[in-house]
Amino acid sequence: MLLIVKQSQINTAMSLNFSSNFNKWTRDLLHVLYPQNCLICKNEYNQSKLAICPICSSELAYTHYEHYPEETNLDKLFWGRVNLEATYALLRFKQEGSTQQILHELKYRSNPEVGIHFGKEIGSKLKSMAKFSDVDALVPVPLHPKKEFIRGYNQAEVICKGIAASSGTTLRKDLLKRISFTESQTKKGKTSRWENMQNRFKIQGIKSTELKHLLVVDDVVTTGSTLETCVRILREEFPEAKISIAVLAVAE
């Protein structure tokens, strides 16, 4: 049998082969010019967009709160301060540890993919926990517009986007607004942080009486002053709703 191959077919095959090789050359060149390292151990690793090597991934400081039968340290942090339905933190925070490097990557190194990635993990964990099963709105702790413009995004909001992607819960960034610019809380004590948070947030005036369970989301909780302030303000607007908290990391 005589096999007849049209010139157009040959051209198409050559084009596809060239395109494949060109893409490979481009990736190799970009890797040489911009090598991607594990954001924790700093060793070269370019197998994922997030760039955390398997060894560091296996050593992340997970809280495993989803397996706690009783109250966690995060629950206890808010005892006697605000009425919460539930709390959750994915990672434990310690100075100079892997969690600190993740938070710095998210907040100071223009890498929102970190928030989305770990937000998806949080969403997956929450789906397995009955006390979060009826959450109908994700409320990110807002940044002041000036700070958000400088950073390029709100880290709490990108975490919410990850949670929404894996849980299907609605993101409601329209409920809370930050109305004044605050200096960094990093070096402040518990009392100073609380005073620094007073009159910093407000409800944006959007009535949503159908909301029954709000999940307030932030990147890290230390003294809890910021989250406490947000919960108090939301409680005034939604007195009958359940309010819970979820964070990427908790200082323990």
Tell me: the pLDDT tens digits for 79-131? 999 999 999 999 999 888 999 999 999 999 999 999 999 999 999 999 999 99
Cα–Cα distance, 235 to 237 (Å, whole number): 5
Alpha carbon of 81 to those of 65, 75, 165, 224: distances in Å? Answer: 21, 11, 31, 10
Query: What average pLDDT does this structure show over 210-233?
Result: 95
Measuring CA to CA, which residue among 147, 201, 209 is closest to residue 173? 201
Residues 62-75: tens digit of each pLDDT: 999 999 988 999 99
The helix (run of H) or strand (run of E) holding residue 232 is helix 225-237
Predicted confidence at residue 2, as pLDDT, reads 46
Helix (H, G, I), strand (E, B) or coil at 73: helix
Listed range (17-26, 67-76, 138-147, 162-171) with the worst mean pLDDT: 17-26
If DSSP codes are grouped into helix, strand and coil, which group holds residue 166?
Answer: helix
Q: How far apart are CA 197 and CA 111, in angstroms?
A: 26
Q: What is the pTM of this model?
A: 0.78
